[in-house]
Amino acid sequence: MVIGHTVTGFTDKLKNGEPFKAFYTGTNDILVYGVAHPESRGLYNIGGKEEIMKSAWEKIAQDYSMIKE
């Protein structure tokens, strides 16, 4: 909803430890990340592996550290 279009393969991307990335509608300045829900429901949706969920968040943290430099 935030980016203004339907995303296909969102769950598959999350199951591989990759956050979904897209720019906010109408701008190329604001990057939006889609991740699994942070509790048990999200964990269930990605196959029950906490390491996978953490991997997506670590990749977001890496992006952020590059942006703020």
* pLDDT tens, position by position, 25-55: 878 888 888 888 878 888 888 888 888 888 9
What pLDDT score was predicted for residue 28? 80
Q: Which is nearest to 17 in space by CA: 65, 48, 54, 66?
A: 54
Quick check: 58 pLDDT over 90? yes
Above pLDDT 90, what percent of the chain?
9
Give the global pTM: 0.72
